[in-house]
Amino acid sequence: MNYPCSPKRKTDKEIICPHCNGKTVIKYGRYKNAQLYYCKECHKRFVEKGLKYKTYSPQVILAAVTEYNLGNTLEAAARSVNRRFKVKTSKSSVHAWVHQFADICTYAKLRAAVVKRYTGKPTYAFSFYHSGLTYTFQYHLPKLEVLCTRYPALIQYLKTMHSAYPPHFFKDDERCSQLMIDVAITRHERYNQACKLAELAVQTCARAGERHAAVEQFMLINDSSTVACEIPVWFWDKQLDRGICGHIDMVQIRQGKVFVLDYKPAASQEKEEKVASQLYLYASGLSLRTKIPLRLFRCAWFDDTVYYEFEPAQSMVKPSH
């Protein structure tokens, strides 16, 4: 574990906390590609922005890692990014990048076994419409079948989404993000793997509006626990006497539990009551549709600096007035 070390010397560059603009900042450990800091004023952790590179941009480096984790050889991954970005990478460069980020892009642990068993692109996708906007549901077939053996109903739910998805439900009923219920939660705060993955993914974005999709796609392909993203969920709530629908940013399988994740670009600034309501409804809906007990679910929202988690089954819930 990394503990806060002594304050930086006067000769070090001044680090400003992005949460409170405080200047009482100390180093809090280091990862291969980023320095982690701790603010003594607001007690938040954050990472130093900017992927360390010399010749190639973060977009090239992370695209190469992603191409490799899609099942391509090192040579094929290099050719793909060379065509896409008009650069001249080599398989040795791709190999070095894959190794450099293996502790964050943990799909490397599964890749060898997956490549032997599966051929073709590992992800499946289809688009659906909700409130006039287009969303792309995706699942990662190898991870789904490897990680969800304990949850066959979840596998069935995701694999049959294309035929089961009810367009009329998403046209007429209320969104989980719009409906507010009172949920008293006990949240746990940390800086974890999801933050590190998001910190990498956002460096591939030219515009802020690209971050959401980039984080989802990057985690679906490169981590070892995300099995699906933009997952439609719909149900009729008897207590509220209304239809409810929405789409979950990401579903992960970790520690034998089903994690419902929502990427929030400014997670620490989100109103806890609103995001807790939204995530609770997502987890409840997925629990109802798959018959997986709510006690086996965990809910979380995060960005590249912080991760908040709570147990929906342990939350106190009553309808808002």
**What pLDDT digit, counting tens, does each position of 214-269 carry?**
999 999 999 999 999 999 998 877 776 777 888 999 999 999 999 999 999 999 99
Mark which of 12, 27, 48 sits at the end of a domain: 48
Residues 190 and 105 in one domain: no
Residues 251 and 290 in one domain: yes
Residues 139 and 199 in one domain: yes
What's the burial of 48, exposed, middle or buried (CB within 10 Å: 0-12/13-18/19+)?
middle
Q: Is residue 44 assigned to a domain?
A: yes
Q: Greater confidence, 29 or 280? A: 280
Residues 169 and 315 in one domain: yes
Boundaries of domain holding 171: 123-319
Residues 189 and 248 in one domain: yes
Number of domains in the chain: 3
Confidence of residue 52 (pLDDT cuts 50, 70, 90): low
Residues 25 and 131 in one domain: no
Residues contacting 158, CB < 8 A, separation 6+: 139, 144, 227, 228, 231
Helix 58-69 and helix 91-100, axial crossing angle in degrees, nearest 10: 90
Residues 34 and 65 in one domain: no
Residues 28 and 135 in one domain: no
Confidence of residue 3 (pLDDT cuts 50, 70, 90): very low
Helix 152-159 and helix 272-290, axial crossing angle in degrees, nearest 10: 100
pTM above 0.85, yes or no: no
Tokens standing for residue 119: 């051929």
* DSSP conformation letters of 264-281: -TTGGGS-HHHHHHHHHH
Q: Is residue 235 assigned to a domain?
A: yes
Mean pLDDT of all residues in the chain? 86
Q: What angle do CA 82, 83, 86 make, to 5 degrees?
A: 65
Q: Is residue 232 assigned to a domain?
A: yes
Residues 82 and 209 in one domain: no
Tokens 């609103």 correspond to 274
Residues 220 and 281 in one domain: yes
**286-318 tens-digit pLDDT:** 999 999 999 999 999 999 999 999 999 999 876
Q: How far is CA 64 from CA 6, 26, 117, in A?
A: 37, 33, 22
Residues 44 and 92 in one domain: no
Smallest Cα–Cα separation from 233: which of 157, 301, 304, 181? 157
Q: Is residue 192 assigned to a domain?
A: yes
Q: Is residue 245 assigned to a domain?
A: yes
Q: Is residue 165 assigned to a domain?
A: yes
Q: Is residue 53 assigned to a domain?
A: no
**136-184 tens-digit pLDDT:** 999 999 999 999 999 999 999 999 998 888 877 777 666 666 677 889 9
